[in-house]
A and B are shown apart, each in its own frame.
Chain A
Amino acid sequence: EVQLVESGGGLVQPGGSLRLSCSASGFTFSTHAMNWVRQAPGKGLEYVSAITSNGAATYYADSVKGRFTISRDNSKNMLFFQMSSLRVEDTAIYYCVKLGVGSWYEAWGQGTLVTVSS
């Protein structure tokens, strides 16, 4: 069974930093692209960042480009998200997502809540 378990969320002040982690199991992690998707309270879903299976290429939504960094450690089946210069509008649940063969979002973690507030 595919499992994605996020951690690292919490309350941070504007301008602060946070590092999210996602532990993956139940599938061959190193052969799948991964994404981070977020959902602000009471709002819809927003793609945030993507990384290829080998980590060679990364992609970001314009809203986070230059502030957030996605990375992975295939030897430990881990996905990471370094978030810096956080803004109030970054407040959201952040989901770790496994992509399917055709790039649909095949499996989602339970999410970790990031709250940016003074």
Chain B
Amino acid sequence: SQQGEEDPQALSIQEGENATMNCSYKTSINNLQWYRQNSGRGLVHLILIRSNEREKHSGRLRVTLDTSKKSSSLLITASRAADTASYFCATTDSWGKLQFGAGTQVVVTP
């Protein structure tokens, strides 16, 4: 069964705008990761945030983690057309098993 639920399911924005997507999960985690997937391609790892971290930055990406609410958010700032993709959160439990959310489809129009 899916561990994470993401919202929104789809997001359409214009270049230059920020894109925010959220992920909620149900059980205790060791860490949470965000991935990007271009249509028909494999996953690309974006960022990993550990359960004892609250916020992490990588380039134009900002990830937050709230373990009390069992939720995480991914913010893409100053979006570009090349950011068009599906974004997935994935949680890792103490056994190392990854569970993926349903994903958010992001479309960035020029």
Q: Are both chains from one complex?
A: no
- Interface positions of A (Cβ within 8 A of B): none
Binding site for A on B (CB under 8 A): none
